[in-house]
């Protein structure tokens, strides 16, 4: 894989450059390996310009990713479509002085690589805790542990209903009563 090309953000902003890029997920800088494993790419439409004296870019991203559901630990396809304006800064000190409400991207000496910019914006668009919209969409855990490997249910992708829920444990439910009892019994100071 060739080294990513450094771009001069000032020149791109002054010329109001527009890019349409398709970037493979495995080329994105610091992108999580579990998102890259299934392959795929992200389409980016980037329009550069200036706003309040700062170099900016509007990014429109589209990607189909395979995430891991945090409820069932099974694969979960996610379609990401996001649009966000980004203000480029050359240092963290400069970022502190930017107008409120702007997302900043650090471009030391006014230089950056597309893969880092796209990767960061795509990460920000991902759900914090990916999970299927409904628990019924989750796959039974046995499909991923190998316990049913090769069974007819697995081959047909049939999902059995979720197991009965264990009773809820509330270890601190009586905490107030315990604290009140300890205060009454021995924690008083003598007169």
pLDDT confidence tier of residue 183, bands split at 50, 70 and 90: confident
Using CA atoms of 75, 77, 81, 85 in order, give the dihedral in degrees to the nearest 10. 10
The answer to the question of residue 154 being in a domain is no
Q: Rounded mean pLDDT of 170-183?
A: 76
Tell me the mean pLDDT in the region 85-105.
91
The pLDDT of residue 153 is: 44
pLDDT in tens, 17-32: 999 999 999 898 788 8
Mean pLDDT of the region 140-166: 47
Q: Would you place residue 155 in the very low, low, confident or very high pLDDT band (cuts 50, 70, 90)?
A: very low
Residue 66, domain member (yes or no): yes
Q: Is the pLDDT of residue 143 over 60?
A: no
DSSP string, 51-92: ETTEEEEEEEEEEEEEEE-TTT--EEEEEEEEEEEEEEESSH
- Position 15 in a domain: yes
The answer to whether residue 119 is domain-embedded is yes
**Can you give the residue range of the structural domain that contains 109?**
7-133
pLDDT at 176: 79
pLDDT tens for each residue of 61-74? 999 998 888 888 88
Q: Is residue 117 part of a domain?
A: yes
Lowest mean pLDDT among 14-28, 68-82, 132-146, 172-186: 132-146
Q: What is the pLDDT of residue 20?
A: 96
Provide φ and ψ at 21, rounded to 5°.
-125, 145
The pLDDT, as a whole number, for residue 190 is 53
- Number of domains within the chain: 1
Residue 169 lies in a domain: no
In a domain, 71, yes or no: yes
Least confident of 67-71, 74-78, 144-148: 144-148
Give the H/E segment covering residue 23.
Answer: strand 18-24
pLDDT band at 145 (very low <50, low <70, confident <90, very high): very low
Q: Is residue 26 part of a domain?
A: yes
pLDDT given for residue 164 in this prediction:
54
């Amino acid at each position: 894989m060739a080294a990513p090309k450094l771009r001069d953000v000032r020149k791109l902003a002054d010329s109001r450059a527009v890019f349409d890029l398709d970037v493979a997920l495995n080329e994105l800088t610091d992108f999580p390996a579990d998102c890259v494993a299934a392959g795929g790419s992200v389409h980016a439409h980037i329009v550069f310009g200036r706003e309040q004296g700062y170099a900016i870019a509007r990014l429109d991203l589209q990607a189909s990713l395979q995430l891991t559901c945090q409820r069932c630990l099974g694969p979960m396809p996610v379609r990401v479509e996001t649009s966000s304006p980004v203000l480029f800064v050359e240092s963290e000190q400069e970022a502190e002085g930017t107008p409120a409400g702007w997302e900043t991207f650090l471009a030391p000496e006014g230089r950056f690589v597309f893969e880092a910019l796209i990767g960061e914006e795509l990460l920000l668009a991902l759900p914090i805790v990916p999970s299927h919209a409904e628990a019924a969409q989750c796959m039974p855990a046995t499909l991923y542990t190998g316990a049913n490997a090769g069974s007819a249910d697995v081959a047909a992708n049939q999902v059995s209903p979720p197991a009965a829920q264990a009773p809820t444990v509330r270890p601190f439910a009586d905490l107030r009563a315990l604290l009140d009892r300890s205060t009454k019994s021995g924690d008083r100071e003598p007169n």
